[in-house]
Chains A and B, each alone.
Chain A
Amino acid sequence: MTPFVDVAFLILSFFMLATKFKPPEKVPIESPGSVNSDVLPANDAVMITIDSAGRVFYSVLDEKDPNFKVKVLNKLNELRALNLTKEQMDNFKNVYAIGTPFANLGQFLSASEDQQKVFPEAGIPVLDSATNELVWWINASQKAFSEEKGIKLKEILVKGDGRSKYPVFEGVVSALKRNEEFKYQLVTAQDGVPAGSELDKYNKKPEKN
């Protein structure tokens, strides 16, 4: 039985090392599949999430500096005169994704962590160009990145649920366009390249100069 147990523990250690726990997700997202295999960045990036009901959430991804998102909110507070208190802004550190319109932002951030879980979030409004609040979130992030880190906001991830409708995505795109951001990455589940397709043939061609 000893070799058998040995193998079992080997598998166990493999799974323990290979597992990376997901950050707590507010809403389950079913990403559509694509054949692309670029790796997602985890730092210096912002992520826009669209859930199946079409609600938009915004998150600032920075594993190294969890206080950076507070600086983003700080900028937003200045830009839009939201009158948030310092405590409310510090509270933002523990929020993974925010999906509250500006009007309820103070209320949401004053709530305790347990209350936030059940807080009815309406999503960031994007559908109407006059009240597109995502524009300001991106604008504040751009400013925070250039002032605090001295770099440009490069990595913009859009993670949409397959069941959401196109107009929400269009609203997100228009918010990005208004901030002069034209390059972004759509988060997808990875699919295999269909055998015999044009892409497959292309990948097999030699790379001579």
Chain B
Amino acid sequence: MASVDTGGGGGGHKKGPGVKKAKKLSTRIDMTPMVDLGFLLITFFIFTTTMTNPSALKLNMPKDTDKEEEQNKAKESGALTIMLGKGNNVYYYEGQLKVDAAGNNFKVTTMKKIREVILNKKADVLSRYTRNQACIDKKMNEWRTKGIQGKYLKDAEESCEQEDLVVVIKPNEEASYKNTVAALDEMSICRVLKYAMVKITPQENELIKATEAASGVK
């Protein structure tokens, strides 16, 4: 590519007629193939790179226990049970399940609208709460003595105001894993601190099946 001009010794000496002047070669390199390759690699890396890093959703499950005194009891006024069935259908009831002639509290909604239901329940529990300084102090002390990091006053306040709120998630055997995770995720989005995943009861499952059959859910 680059060459050294050796011809024409004796600088400034005029060449005779008929002696052609050596063609001066350009010292520039043709970079087009390299750039082509560069872009090819860029396209390759753009397509193969997955920018979305997987993240982790932490899940704590309780130990199974038969002892009555070890089981957590939920206040009826603050309990919300969400059941997941076929497709994106979600069934829920507040407090205890009541199905009789006087009317039932078993309701149907979809995955998209469940957030509203949870938030309504939360607002309902919060409306009955009056600031309880003793509870907040107790929580703060507990965290301090146990040396738990990353807990602040806002956490203590929040934990006290939703002392009574418990959401129970019950997927049936046809619920998808996606909706199960979505329901758990909804707990983080709505900041529900107490929730549990529990096995569905046969009565509840029958109600779901009946509702599905009636509304023709496939």
Q: Do A and B come from one complex?
A: yes
Residues in chain A within 8 A of chain B (CB atoms): 5, 8-9, 11-12, 15-16, 18-19, 21-22, 31-40, 50, 157-170, 173, 176-177, 180, 182-191, 193-194, 197-199, 202, 205-209
Complex alpha-carbon distance, A167 and B122, angstroms: 29
Complex alpha-carbon distance, A180 and B59, angstroms: 14
Please choose the segment from B18-26, B46-54, B127-135, B201-209 that sits at the chain A interface, where 4 or more of its residues have CB less than 8 A away: B46-54
A15 in contact with B59 given A32-B178, A33-B185 (CB within 8 Å): no
B181 cross-chain contacts in A, Cβ below 8 A:
32, 34, 160, 162, 186, 188
A37 cross-chain contacts in B, Cβ below 8 A:
55
Q: Say yes or no: A202 contacts B158, CB within 8 Å.
A: yes
For residue B31, CB closer than 8 A to chain A, the reply is yes
* Closest A residue, CB atoms, query B181: A32
Complex alpha-carbon distance, A194 and B188, angstroms: 11
* Closest B residue, CB atoms, query A11: B42
Q: Say yes or no: A198 contacts B190, CB within 8 Å.
A: yes
Instruction: Kindly provide the distance from the CB of A61 to the nearest chain B CB, expressed in whole angstroms.
Output: 13
Q: Say yes or no: B59 contacts A31, CB within 8 Å.
A: no
Complex alpha-carbon distance, A177 and B62, angstroms: 9
Q: Say yes or no: A164 contacts B152, CB within 8 Å.
A: no
For residue B182, CB closer than 8 A to chain A, the reply is yes
Which 7 A-B residue pairs are closest in the complex by CB-CB distance?
A: A162-B178, A15-B45, A185-B56, A198-B191, A34-B185, A166-B171, A32-B178
Instruction: Kindly provide the distance from the CB of A79 to the nearest chain B CB, expressed in whole angstroms.
Output: 23
Q: Which of A19, A177, A208 has the most CB of B within 10 A?
A: A19
Instruction: Kindly provide the distance from the CB of B173 to the nearest chain A CB, expressed in whole angstroms.
Output: 5
Given A36-B188, A183-B60, A199-B189, output 6 extra A-B contacts at Cβ < 8 Å. A165-B177, A183-B59, A185-B56, A187-B54, A188-B57, A189-B54
For residue B217, CB closer than 8 A to chain A, the reply is no
B153 cross-chain contacts in A, Cβ below 8 A:
208-209
B190 cross-chain contacts in A, Cβ below 8 A:
197-199
Q: Say yes or no: A163 contacts B45, CB within 8 Å.
A: no
Instruction: Kindly provide the distance from the CB of A24 to the nearest chain B CB, expressed in whole angstroms.
Output: 14
Instruction: Kindly provide the distance from the CB of B18 to the nearest chain A CB, expressed in whole angstroms.
Output: 41
For residue B172, CB closer than 8 A to chain A, the reply is yes
Instruction: Kindly provide the distance from the CB of A156 to the nearest chain B CB, expressed in whole angstroms.
Output: 10
Instruction: Kindly provide the distance from the CB of A7 to the nearest chain B CB, expressed in whole angstroms.
Output: 10
B175 cross-chain contacts in A, Cβ below 8 A:
165-166
Complex alpha-carbon distance, A185 and B49, angstroms: 24
For residue B68, CB closer than 8 A to chain A, the reply is no
Complex alpha-carbon distance, A194 and B57, angstroms: 17
A162 cross-chain contacts in B, Cβ below 8 A:
176-178, 181
Instruction: Kindly provide the distance from the CB of B39 to the nearest chain A CB, expressed in whole angstroms.
Output: 6
Instruction: Kindly provide the distance from the CB of B123 to the nearest chain A CB, expressed in whole angstroms.
Output: 10
For residue B1, CB closer than 8 A to chain A, the reply is no
For residue B69, CB closer than 8 A to chain A, the reply is no
Complex alpha-carbon distance, A9 and B34, angstroms: 10
Q: Say yes or no: B42 contacts A15, CB within 8 Å.
A: yes
* Closest B residue, CB atoms, query A169: B177
Q: Pick the residue among A12, A182, A194, A208 that contacts B62 (CB under 8 A).
A: A182
Q: Say yes or no: B64 contacts A177, CB within 8 Å.
A: yes
* Closest B residue, CB atoms, query A200: B189
Q: Say yes or no: B152 contacts A15, CB within 8 Å.
A: no
A22 cross-chain contacts in B, Cβ below 8 A:
50
